[in-house]
């Protein structure tokens, strides 16, 4: 009985003593992850379609910024990012393209690598594609996928295609059809030259740019026809800007 | 004994532990310190003031029982939308009443400032505040501005609402950028945000071979003509730049070489400038628009902007990407055909009915016509064409300018030295005033609220070969001229006028 009271008393005093110890702050240590910065307002594109067909013949390469962002805290050293090319990709690393500056700089949450495309002979009659995948290395784990509503936004792979073959932009139907009418190779080359415009794969245009392009295109075809008569496309149809 | 002691000890410990859970009732007392109140009933809204002029403010201080041991501070912050959030304030005085000369080193023309009056109770350190909004204006506040031709060069004069007249405004402030053969001067009736210049009303002077956008506060050139375009046209031949569309502020209209270039603004990002010229529906680029436009009332109108083609003698509905024909289903072409009017335009104007627009026109035989149309077609008004009548009033087809009353169904114009008032409904006219024999009218304009709420003013400018003159007439509620209010002289030949407010 006496023993029991002693133990009880001892436990009570111990409880009070615990109350006096310093509280250690809780810090959450998150693992470093890296992902492609895409589908944001700054870099809204989901994939890259590079066509050299709109470029002058002396252009042999094109550099595109490849933006990354990390999850976790920045560190005071440059940290390399690992990226691998998906199996079955037709674009060959080192021949069709290369990636430079593939790292997250010290004390930064963002990194911008350079994806460089080369204009190779074979691209004149074909299109090569590749999927870049973020890979795990000693610095970073693979980033994340965003779930917005019912859709999932992929931020760990990036698809691109390279060609020198003149082809219809995938967004012709959604963006350009309304402005310039039916597609033809002749029409897009004419517009590229007259509007001094090559970014045919943009996801959207502001209204003031749309109307300016339409009006410029209309007067360009008018001036052309005045000098040369109707411009005929590869299918034998007259090029018309509605 | 020992057990009893231990039991007491445990009970005591437990008691202490439980006491920790007791609610702390506290023993605080709050004392209400009566706050000093600062007020200024004499100032309502923004104070518009010029650099170098004196600002006197006498705010009332209610002590509410506090001692009269106070200290005062007056300080200002730049309060424009682009101002930094971390700027320092500038102290301008520490007296009870402010008597301050606006220092140009602190206050910039065109900017707005927040002026704070801080009263501190020296005993308890509690401060009270009162805020004023300051806008640093130039001398050109509100009134009519006139574009003049002075020996072939453009200049501006202004008659302020208080009757003060300023001449040589453009030439004095823009001596390095003369504009020859002035054509038009417009002020947008609402603020325009184009992400190119600062938001605000747009001011344009247009000459035969050049035009400029002006800063509306300083009246100095803001942008050269070519800068107004995404890519300037090959031929530089401006005739008119103005803003229209719904509420008069969403579509910029620029005429160059007779062709219209459009600037569209709205809530979307990116710089907005004038684009390439529009194509006409039937004549390609073979058209020449008159340097006038008329807007609809709201963006839901069927036609937001209507302009007239002097070459093909027809109207167009103007959109941001095209000149459009009027759909046959939208008009009753037995009244007249908007797509084939066959007359020459003298003046496009509003009317005394909000939905109806007036086009005063003439034929080759010297007859004048009034064509009326709507900008909105709906179930109750299935046709936009409203009426066409020959105007039986002397010399209207030869008038240099005509204005439509927005109060009553009348048109005003000058012919052969006489100021006529034509009544649309009865197709009759009266002579309201006779000018001195050597004066010819150059411009005429009806201002509905010229003398305050619904008391209209008629502004007439004349030229006698060497001097321009401006007449202000008061209009009565029946729409007739009540009296000649004022005349102003010393102008060049007046080409255009616009109201600045």
Q: Per residue in B56-109, pLDDT tens?
A: 999 999 888 877 889 999 999 988 766 677 778 899 999 999 999 998 888 888
Question: Which residues of chain B are within 8 Å of residue A214 when distances are taken between CB atoms?
Answer: 321
**Taking a C-beta distance cutoff of 8 angstroms, is the pair B371, B359 a contact?**
yes
Across the range B310-318, mean pLDDT stands at 97
Question: In terms of CA atoms, which chain B residue is nearest residue A211?
Answer: B321
* Residue B446 dihedral angles phi and psi, to the nearest 5°: -100, 130
Closest CA to A36 of A148, A121, A193, A159: A159
SS3 assignment, position B27:
coil
Count the alpha carbons within 13 Å of B385 in the hemisphere toward its beta carbon: 22
- Neighbouring CB atoms inside 10 A of A221's CB total 22
User: How much is the pLDDT for A19?
Assistant: 63
**Taking a C-beta distance cutoff of 8 angstroms, is the pair B293, B318 a contact?**
yes
Contact B6 A222 (CB under 8 A): no
Question: In terms of CA atoms, which chain A residue is nearest residue B321?
Answer: A211
pLDDT in tens, B404-462: 999 999 999 999 999 999 999 999 999 999 999 999 999 999 998 888 777 899 999 99
Question: Which residues of chain B are within 8 Å of residue A207 when distances are taken between CB atoms?
Answer: 264, 266, 268, 320
The structure tokens listed for B195 are: 């992400």
Contact B3 A2 (CB under 8 A): yes
**Taking a C-beta distance cutoff of 8 angstroms, is the pair B371, B406 a contact?**
no
User: How much is the pLDDT for A87?
Assistant: 92
Q: Is the pLDDT of residue B254 over 80?
A: yes
Kindly indicate the confidence band of residue A28, based on its pLDDT and cuts at 50, 70 and 90.
low
Question: In terms of CA atoms, which chain A residue is nearest residue B278?
Answer: A215
Kindly indicate the confidence band of residue B353, based on its pLDDT and cuts at 50, 70 and 90.
very high
- Give which of A205, A207, A212 to mutate to test B binding, by max B Cβ within 10 Å: A212
Report field, pTM of the whole predicted structure over 0.80: no
SS3 assignment, position A2:
helix
User: How much is the pLDDT for B33?
Assistant: 78
Contact B279 A219 (CB under 8 A): yes
How confident is the prediction for chain B on average, in pLDDT?
92
pLDDT in tens, B177-208: 999 999 999 999 888 989 898 888 999 999 99
Question: Which residues of chain B are within 8 Å of residue A212 when distances are taken between CB atoms?
Answer: 230, 275-276
Does A19 touch chain B if contact means CB atoms closer than 8 Å?
no
Name which residue leads in pLDDT, B141 or B296: B296
Task: Pick B276's closest partner by Cβ from A1, A5, A216.
Answer: A216
Question: In terms of CA atoms, which chain A residue is nearest residue B275?
Answer: A212
Does A207 touch chain B if contact means CB atoms closer than 8 Å?
yes
State the burial class of residue B120 (Cβ atoms within 10 Å of its Cβ: 0-12, 13-18, 19+): middle
Task: Pick A215's closest partner by Cβ from B10, B272, B277.
Answer: B277
Across the range A199-216, mean pLDDT stands at 88
Instruction: Assign residue B231 a region (left: φ > 0; alpha: ψ between -120 and 50; beta: otherwise).
Output: beta
Does A211 touch chain B if contact means CB atoms closer than 8 Å?
yes
Contact A215 B275 (CB under 8 A): yes
Question: Which residues of chain A are within 8 Å of residue B286 when distances are taken between CB atoms?
Answer: none
User: How much is the pLDDT for B354?
Assistant: 92
ipTM for the predicted complex comes to 0.71
Across the range A102-129, mean pLDDT stands at 91
Alpha-carbon gap, residue B372 to B341, rounded angstroms: 12
Q: Is the pLDDT of residue A114 over 80?
A: yes
SS3 content of chain A, % helix, strand, coil (to 5): 30, 30, 45
Between chain A and chain B, the number of residue pairs with CB atoms below 8 A apart is 60
User: How much is the pLDDT for B269?
Assistant: 86
User: How much is the pLDDT for B58?
Assistant: 93
- Neighbouring CB atoms inside 10 A of A190's CB total 20
Give Cα B256 to chain centroid, integer Å.
23
Question: Which residues of chain A are within 8 Å of residue B6 when distances are taken between CB atoms?
Answer: 2, 5, 9
Question: Which residues of chain A are within 8 Å of residue B269 when distances are taken between CB atoms?
Answer: 206
Count the alpha carbons within 13 Å of A157 in the hemisphere toward its beta carbon: 11
> For chain B, which residues lie within 8 Å of any Cβ of chain A, measuring from their own Cβ?
3, 6-7, 9-10, 13, 230-231, 262-266, 268-273, 275-279, 284-285, 320-321
Strands B60-62 and B37-39: antiparallel
CA distance B6 to chain A (A): 8
Query: For residue B388, what are the contacts with CB-CB under 8 A and spacing of at least 6?
Result: B335, B336, B369, B370, B371, B372
Alpha-carbon gap, residue B188 to B182, rounded angstroms: 18
Edge-first strand order for the sheet with B259-264 is: B238-244, B251-256, B259-264
SS3 assignment, position B214:
strand
Q: Is the pLDDT of residue A1 over 60?
A: no
Kindly indicate the confidence band of residue B390, based on its pLDDT and cuts at 50, 70 and 90.
very high
User: How much is the pLDDT for A44?
Assistant: 54
CATH topology for A33-163 is Immunoglobulin-like (2.60.40)
Contacts 24+ apart (CB under 8 A), B79-86: B79/B111, B79/B112, B79/B113, B79/B114, B79/B133, B80/B111, B80/B112, B81/B199, B82/B198
**Taking a C-beta distance cutoff of 8 angstroms, is the pair B355, B376 a contact?**
yes
First to last CA, chain A: 103
* Residue B434 dihedral angles phi and psi, to the nearest 5°: -120, 125
User: How much is the pLDDT for B399?
Assistant: 94
The structure tokens listed for B90 are: 């500038």
**Taking a C-beta distance cutoff of 8 angstroms, is the pair A116, A63 a contact?**
yes
Question: Which residues of chain B are within 8 Å of residue A210 when distances are taken between CB atoms?
Answer: 321
The structure tokens listed for A68 are: 């990354």
Question: Which residues of chain B are within 8 Å of residue A221 when distances are taken between CB atoms?
Answer: none
**What are the sequence ranges of the domains in chain A?**
33-163, 172-228
Q: Domains in chain B and their CATH numbers?
A: 37-137 (2.60.40.10), 141-277 (no CATH)
């Amino acid at each position: 009985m006496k023993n029991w009271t002693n133990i009880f008393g001892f436990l009570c005093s111990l409880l009070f003593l615990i109350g006096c110890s310093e509280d250690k702050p809780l810090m959450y240590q998150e693992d470093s992850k890296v992902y492609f910065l895409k589908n944001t307002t700054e870099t809204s594109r989901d994939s890259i379609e590079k066509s050299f067909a709109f470029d002058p013949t002396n252009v042999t390469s094109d550099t595109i910024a490849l933006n990354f962002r990390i999850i976790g805290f920045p560190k005071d050293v440059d940290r390399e990012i690992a990226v691998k090319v998906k199996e079955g990709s037709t674009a060959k690393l080192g021949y069709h393209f290369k990636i430079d500056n593939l790292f997250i700089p010290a004390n930064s949450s963002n990194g911008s690598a350079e994806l460089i495309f080369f204009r190779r002979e074979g691209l004149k009659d074909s299109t090569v594609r590749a999927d870049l995948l973020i890979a795990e290395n000693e610095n970073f784990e693979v980033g994340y996928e965003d779930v917005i509503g019912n859709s999932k936004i992929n931020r760990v792979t990036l698809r691109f295609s390279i060609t020198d073959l003149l082809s219809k932009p995938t967004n012709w139907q959604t963006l350009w059809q309304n402005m310039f009418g039916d597609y033809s190779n002749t029409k897009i080359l004419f517009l590229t030259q007259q509007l001094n415009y090559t970014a045919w794969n943009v996801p959207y245009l502001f209204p003031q740019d749309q109307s300016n392009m339409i009006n410029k295109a209309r007067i360009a075809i008018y001036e052309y026809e005045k000098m040369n008569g109707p411009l005929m496309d590869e299918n034998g149809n007259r090029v018309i800007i509605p | 004994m020992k057990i009893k002691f231990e039991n007491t000890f445990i009970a005591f410990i437990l008691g202490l532990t439980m006491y920790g859970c007791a609610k702390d009732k506290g023993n605080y007392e709050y004392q209400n310190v009566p706050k000093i109140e600062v007020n200024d009933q004499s100032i309502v809204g923004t104070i518009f003031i010029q650099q170098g002029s004196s600002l006197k403010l006498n705010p009332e201080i209610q002590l509410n029982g506090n001692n009269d041991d106070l200290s005062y501070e007056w300080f200002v912050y730049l309060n424009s939308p682009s101002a930094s959030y971390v700027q320092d304030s500038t102290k301008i005085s520490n007296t009870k009443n402010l008597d301050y000369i606006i220092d140009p080193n602190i206050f910039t023309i065109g900017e707005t400032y927040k002026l704070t009056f801080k009263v501190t109770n020296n005993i308890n350190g509690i401060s009270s505040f009162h805020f004023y909004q300051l806008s640093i204006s130039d001398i050109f506040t509100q009134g009519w501005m006139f574009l003049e031709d002075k020996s072939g060069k453009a200049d501006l004069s202004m008659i302020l609402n208080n009757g003060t007249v300023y001449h040589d405004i453009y030439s004095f402030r823009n001596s390095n950028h003369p504009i020859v053969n002035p054509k038009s001067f417009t002020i947008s009736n609402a603020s325009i945000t184009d992400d190119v210049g600062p938001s605000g009303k747009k001011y344009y002077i247009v000459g035969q071979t050049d035009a400029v956008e002006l800063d509306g506060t300083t009246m100095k050139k803001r942008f050269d003509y070519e800068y107004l375009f995404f890519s300037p046209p090959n031929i530089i031949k401006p005739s008119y730049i103005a803003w229209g569309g719904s509420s008069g502020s969403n579509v910029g209209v620029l005429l160059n070489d007779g062709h219209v270039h459009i600037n569209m603004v709205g809530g979307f990002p990116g710089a907005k400038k004038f684009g390439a010229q529009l194509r006409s529906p039937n004549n390609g680029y073979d058209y020449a628009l008159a340097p006038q436009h008329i807007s609809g009332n709201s963006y839901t109108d069927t036609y937001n902007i209507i302009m007239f083609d002097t070459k093909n003698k027809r109207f167009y509905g103007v959109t941001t990407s095209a000149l459009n024909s009027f759909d046959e289903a939208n008009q009753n072409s037995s009244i007249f055909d908007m797509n084939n009017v066959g007359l020459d335009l003298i003046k496009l104007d509003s009317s005394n009915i909000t939905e109806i627009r007036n086009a005063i026109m003439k034929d080759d035989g010297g007859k004048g016509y009034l064509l009326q149309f709507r900008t909105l077609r709906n179930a109750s008004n299935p046709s936009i064409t409203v009426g066409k009548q020959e105007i039986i009033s002397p010399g209207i087809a030869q008038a240099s300018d005509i204005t439509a009353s927005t109060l009553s169904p009348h048109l005003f114009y000058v012919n052969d030295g006489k100021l006529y008032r034509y009544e649309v409904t009865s197709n009759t006219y009266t002579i309201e005033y006779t000018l001195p024999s050597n004066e010819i009218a150059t411009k005429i304009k009806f201002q509905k609220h010229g003398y305050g709420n619904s008391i209209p003013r008629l502004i007439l400018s004349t030229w006698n070969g060497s001097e321009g003159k401006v007449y202000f007439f008061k209009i009565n509620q029946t729409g007739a001229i009540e009296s000649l209010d004022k005349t102003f002289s010393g102008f060049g030949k007046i080409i255009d006028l616009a109201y600045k407010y």
